[in-house]
Amino acid sequence: MKFSQADPTEGYFITRYDDETIQVNGKNFYTSLIISSRQLKTDWPPRSPQMLRAEDFAAIAELKPELVLLGTGQSLVFPPVETYARLIKQGVGVEIMDTGAACRTYNILVSEGRHVVCGLILHEKKPDSL
């Protein structure tokens, strides 16, 4: 799904997504990432919801979000609560959804000025060579 063009000077927005790609401010990414309005971490390790560990959520906690969105791919997959329990103990809301819903929700919340951090899981794929 493609979104209307956001102004990249106002932070990071998801401008397009599909099953294998997340586009942020017009640039394509092919691996899992963490995005907030002010930071983009493109080296997030999990390649499937089953690979999530508490350490993966620690990288999100460092950004001190008020709300965390987790996009788990084409379908909704709930990771074990133990993996994100630290966030809950800190009073941070955690919402788990499929990646498309997470992308749409992220853009809405960022446009409202909310401090949301979104972890998006993509199976690793290299871009096609031209």
Q: What are phi and psi of 89, to 5 degrees?
A: -60, -30
Pairwise CA distance, residues 114 & 112, whole Å: 6
Half-sphere exposure of 44 (CA within 13 A, CB side): 33
Residue 111 sits in a domain whose CATH number is 3.40.1230.10
User: Is 100 a domain residue?
Assistant: yes
Task: State the pLDDT at residue 5.
Answer: 46
User: Is 60 a domain residue?
Assistant: yes
Which domain, by its residues, includes 77?
8-120
Task: State the pLDDT at residue 102.
Answer: 98
User: Is 25 a domain residue?
Assistant: yes
Mean pLDDT by 10 residues, the chain (130 residues): 50 94 96 96 93 95 96 93 94 96 97 96 62
User: Is 130 a domain residue?
Assistant: no
Q: Domain count for the chain, please give it.
A: 1
Task: State the pLDDT at residue 123.
Answer: 74
Type of residue numbered 102: A
